[in-house]
Amino acid sequence: MYKILIVSYANWDSLMELPAVFKQAGCTTDIYCAKDSWILQSSFYDKWIEASSNEATFLSGLYDIVGKHGNEYDWIIPGDDIILRLLNDTITDEKLFYKLLPLTKIENRELLGSKAGFSNLCDKYDIKTPRFLIYDAGQSPESIAKYMGFPFMMKTDRSEAGTGVFKCDNLHDLIDNLKNVENKHNVVFQQFIEGYDINMEVLYKEGELIVYSYAKLLKILGKFGLSTQRLFSQNTEIIPELRKIGRSIGLNGFASIAFMYNELDKKHYLIEIDVRPNSWIYYGRFTGNDFSEGIKKISKGDLTLVNFDSNKYPSEVKVSLYKKDMMRVIVTKDVKGFLYWMLNKEDCRKYIPTYDKKLLKSTNKYLGWFFKELVKEKVQKLAGSKK
Per-residue confidence (pLDDT) for residue 162, from 0 to 100:
65
Contact 268, 215 (CB under 8 A): no
Residue 291 CA to residue 253 CA, distance in Å, equals 11
Angle at 368 between CA 365 and CA 370, to 5 degrees: 110
On whether the 3-100 domain is CATH 3.40.50.720, my answer is yes
- pLDDT confidence tier of residue 113, bands split at 50, 70 and 90: confident
Task: Specify the pairing of strand 47-50 against strand 132-134.
Answer: unpaired
Per-residue confidence (pLDDT) for residue 350, from 0 to 100:
98
Task: Specify the pairing of strand 3-8 against strand 28-33.
Answer: parallel
Instruction: Strands of 188-234 (E only): list them.
Output: 188-191, 195-205, 208-221, 226-233
Residue 189's beta-bridge partner residues?
133, 154
Contact 229, 298 (CB under 8 A): no
Architecture in CATH for domain 195-370: 2-Layer Sandwich (3.30)
Residue 33 CA to residue 62 CA, distance in Å, equals 10
Number of H helices, E strands in the chain: 12, 14
Per-residue confidence (pLDDT) for residue 224, from 0 to 100:
79
Which SS3 state, helix, strand or coil, does residue 188 take? Answer: strand
DSSP string of 353-370?
Answer: -TT-HHHHHHHHHHHHHH
Per-residue confidence (pLDDT) for residue 379, from 0 to 100:
86
Residue 348 CA to residue 336 CA, distance in Å, equals 13
Residues ≥6 apart with Cβ < 8 Å to 19: 6, 29, 31, 39, 42, 43, 44, 45
Residue 387 CA to residue 385 CA, distance in Å, equals 6
Give the mean model confidence (pLDDT) for residues 73-81: 97
pLDDT, one tens digit per residue, over 45-73 is: 999 999 999 999 999 999 999 999 999 99
Angle at 239 between CA 236 and CA 244, to 5 degrees: 165
Residue 106 CA to residue 239 CA, distance in Å, equals 24
The ranges assigned to domains in the chain are 3-100, 131-191, 195-370
pLDDT, one tens digit per residue, over 206-217 is: 999 999 999 999
Per-residue confidence (pLDDT) for residue 262, from 0 to 100:
95
What is 131-191's CATH number?
Answer: 3.30.1490.20
